[in-house]
Amino acid sequence: MTRNWTWCATLGLMLWGTATQAELRWEFDGRVEPAGAPLKLLTGKPAFAAVGPGQGLAAGCGLTWADAPALRLRPELEILCRFRLDATTEGTQTLAMKDGEYILRVDWQKEGGSLSFFVQVDGKWESRLRGPVVRPGTWYEVRAQWTGTAMDLVVNGEAFHSRRAGRIQPADEPL
């Protein structure tokens, strides 16, 4: 099986605070640099594909970004994205990951193939918040958020919620 997936239109990592507001936003509109803050691309070669009236990150195009404070796990972290899988795989399909902090991914087929959101607290990844089973050829609009005490996932308007509180350890791992 091939790992064909399309991650398109918008991926945003947002941090909202009371006194300040930080936002990073990748539009993948033919350029790879995010709006909101300068980030350093560590690995990967950007490639784009036509998606409806615009462009998206091409299938199989993985990018790794250097750490920045706005990417680190903290209460009110929000991840927004729109994606479509061309095919499912036996392995996981990662949409966004900051090692030791958070993951937004499509689970293994043997785990059910659901969209899952993980936040590492107290040194543990589980329990994850599971959303719907992801089907090839379907577009998904996703909002994943960790409030500091709970995880929320909204997928194509359907809401999922789970309590998730504990000690976090933001670090300088790349995204």
**Domains delineated in the chain:** 5-163 (2.60.120)
Q: What is the DSSP string of 83-111?
A: EEESS--SS-EEEEEETTTEEEEEPPGGG
In the structure encoding, which two tokens stand for residue 154, read together?
Answer: 């909204």
Closest CA to 151 of 170, 132, 128, 169: 128
Task: Report yes or no: 155 and 81 within 8 Å, Cβ to Cβ.
Answer: no
Q: Model pTM?
A: 0.85
* CB neighbourhood size of 35 (10 A): 11
How does pLDDT run along the chain (175 residues), one tens digit per residue?
333 333 433 333 333 333 344 477 777 777 788 877 788 999 988 888 877 777 778 777 888 989 988 888 889 888 888 888 888 888 999 999 999 999 999 999 999 999 999 999 999 988 899 999 999 989 999 999 999 999 999 999 999 999 988 898 888 888 8
